[in-house]
Amino acid sequence: MGNFIVFEGCEGSGKSTQARLLYNRLLEKGYPGLLTHEPGGTSFGESIRRTLRKGDHINPSTWLFLFSAARTQLLDEIVRPALISGQTVVCDRYFPSTVSYQGYGYGLDLDMIYTITEIATQGLRSDIVVLLDSPPSLGVNRRKGQRRDRFETEPIDFHERVREGYLKQAKDDPERWLVLDATLRKEEIAEAVWGKVQLLLGNIQANPIV
């Protein structure tokens, strides 16, 4: 089986940039890898993503079920086959986002979220969760002038609760979570991520690129 690495963070944290940097580094070092994202990665998931970008006022419980359905499809079509083939899968967001946004942000019952998530993922957890942490106000400012989705239009206290949710999850599972200061230079963050990932890859033979 391959390894499953997830990047998480509030809006504008730089997680997508770091996910791509790690993916590129894996390939440069000769490790087979795959880069994907949530919601998306499949035609069904991308339709959910387009709906999100419209900013429609949809009930938070509806988002929970839509994201969970998209996640199930992504795991079935993309992630599990890649892991079975021995690839390292790098994913921009996974179920910790649901816990933080729908649970802490919108106040949905956490036990319900974990139950639905368990069904949607069949218990598949990532080997590493990289959390790029920064004050929500900083992330919102970084996104100014860019097209905003449903979550980015929420007030700052919503994003504060989302951040609280991430930090609580990281505190509860410190061995699996790597929390990094998102305000550091992207090169510094990338090196810290690679240090953690190397420990995971220690027993996997790379195929050097000639």
Question: What is the tens place of the pLDDT at every residue in 39-84?
Answer: 999 999 999 888 877 766 789 999 999 999 999 999 999 999 999 9
At position 173, the amino acid (one-letter code) is D
In 122-207, which ranges are continuous DSSP H helix?
136-142, 156-172, 186-201
Instruction: Indicate if the pLDDT at residue 6 is higher than 50.
Output: yes
Burial of 149 (0-12, 13-18, 19+ CB in 10 A): middle
Domain boundaries of the chain, sorted by first residue: 4-201
Percentage of the chain exceeding pLDDT 90? 79
**pLDDT, position 46:** 93
In the CATH scheme, what is the homologous superfamily, with its name and number, of domain 4-201?
Answer: P-loop containing nucleotide triphosphate hydrolases (3.40.50.300)
Q: What is the pLDDT of residues 118-137, one digit of tens each?
A: 999 999 999 999 999 999 88
Helix and strand tally (H, E) in the chain?
9, 5
pLDDT at 154: 85
What is the rounded distance in angstroms from the CA atom of residue 207 to the CA atom of residue 29?
Answer: 8
- Does position 31 have pLDDT exceeding 60, yes or no? yes
Between 35 and 154, residue with greater pLDDT: 35
pTM score over 0.75: yes
Average pLDDT estimate for 196-205: 81
Q: Do residues 89 and 5 make contact, with C-beta atoms less than 8 angstroms apart?
A: yes
**Nearest CA to 45 among 37, 57, 56?**
37
Note the pLDDT of residue 208.
46
DSSP letter assigned to residue 200: H
- Residue whose entry in the numeric block shows the structure tokens 């992504």: 74
